[in-house]
Amino acid sequence: MTFQYQRLAEQLAHKIYQHELQPQHKLSSLREFARQQKVSLSTAQQCYELLEARGLIYVKAKSGYFVSSRQYQSPIPDSPQFESMARQVSNLDLQNQIQTASIQSHLTPLGAIQLSPHLIPVDGLRRSLQRALKHCQPEDFLYCNKQGHEQLRQALSDHWREDGVYIAADDIFISNGCLPAISLLIQQMSKEGDSIMIPTPTFNGQLQLLAGLKRKIIEIPADHRGIDLERLEFFMQQGSAKLCLLTANFQNPLGYCLSNQQKQRIAELAEQYQCFILEDDIYAECSYQKERPLPIRHWDRKGYVILCGSVSKSLSSAYRVGWFCLGQQLEHLRPQFLANNIGVNTPLQLGLADFIYSRAYREHLDQLRPKLMQQVEQYRACILETFQGIPIALSQSLGGYALWMQLPTTITGLELYYLAQSKGINIVPGEVFGEDQRYQHYLRLNAGHAFTEEIRQAIQQLADWVRQSLEPALS
């Protein structure tokens, strides 16, 4: 359970992290803050005390509360400009190698984007699974409905409705994760050799998937502000591709969250040019704020946006439960989706439905948000401290736990990746997030695991190696 003072502290911390409240900014007095927020003086005091304990604010005798100075600052990574064209994914072997390495448990886990076990509500999940098994019906032990169990589909529909996302249970298909859902959609909606628009840099697993399906890609430039919508519209208008795969909320690796205006514009473009949007919304529930950002699907009026997601980033990567949501434009393909969708373990579906209906999932998300925000900030602070004096840039997201780092131009992410592997550390080099090696001086780090001494030492080792490589230039 998240208390009111914690939610208020989360909101103020968010403003501090996003530089809306600058260092030395004087905060409202306790009485004024309590009046503004319509809470008791005790709640206001607990809020300020929590922020003070986290080192985000400090109290000056007879003067009030002020925002603390943050010792280390960083610019946001650049995003190289490039020409867009239909092409094959050229680095599939490297993609496969890095994907295999990213989940090796003996390496320090700075590679694959996944939550630490300490952030997973194991006891609550166990209770939900036990209750689900206790109340199973005889038919639940037969072959399951290939669209997914009705209880889970209805649970998801009701859960999303609380956040302003309205999708009927009959439009939801349960899958074995988000990428399998995307794979099924692409295979049913396109053929080998077709082009798929995709903003880059993007999640390397999506590029690996498209290469395996023998689809070409048309890269659309993206940066920390979002997607180049003019370029996106140009290729929609040209008819070069009838599918676009993108993430609007806390994209991996950049971390951007598109504005409502940008999302609405994408939905309008999809309708205008009859171009389908496969919206990978897997990080939406990892926001640092209480409100879940709306998906592009919210503005879809004609059924051209297909929402995809899973609980692998917000709950557990071991729970291979995902979904995709059809619109009216794809209703004619329902038989094909049913025929080709792989059924998901029924007890697991029922356990997740119970976890949602018992409010345990909602409570988990309320607790996860402030923990994630604090943990990611610990990673950022450590990186900026250990790399002090080295010209780097580091992403600053509003949610999620991927960190995108720009290295000096004499250092490549791939050489750092191989060195890290030899030291027992896993990272993901920028080369696999797009084509033409344009992201060779970047890397992505996972901040989903608890910030431990092992993590701190691993980051220190990376910084020491980069510093040694730059010593002639820095001296």
HEC-encoded secondary structure of 259-320: CHHHHHHHHHHHHHHCCEEEEECCCHHHECCCCCCCCHHHHCCCCCEEEEEECCCCCCCCCC
Q: What is the predicted pLDDT for the residue at 475?
A: 53
The 10 Å Cβ neighbour count of residue 157 is 18
Q: What is the predicted pLDDT for the residue at 173?
A: 97
| Domains of the chain with bracketed CATH | 4-67 (1.10.10.10), 86-98+121-361 (3.40.640.10), 367-468 (3.90.1150.10)
Q: What is the predicted pLDDT for the residue at 473?
A: 60
Low-confidence ranges of the chain (pLDDT < 70): 1-2, 70-72, 472-475
User: Counting Cβ atoms within 10 Å, is residue 45 exposed (0-12), middle (13-18) or buried (19+)?
Assistant: middle
User: Counting Cβ atoms within 10 Å, is residue 177 exposed (0-12), middle (13-18) or buried (19+)?
Assistant: buried
Residues near 140 by beta carbon (within 8 Å), at least 6 away in sequence: 149, 346, 347, 350
Q: What is the predicted pLDDT for the residue at 425?
A: 94
Q: What is the predicted pLDDT for the residue at 340?
A: 93
Which CA distances in Å does 246 have to 45, 71, 201, 214, 221? 42, 35, 11, 18, 12
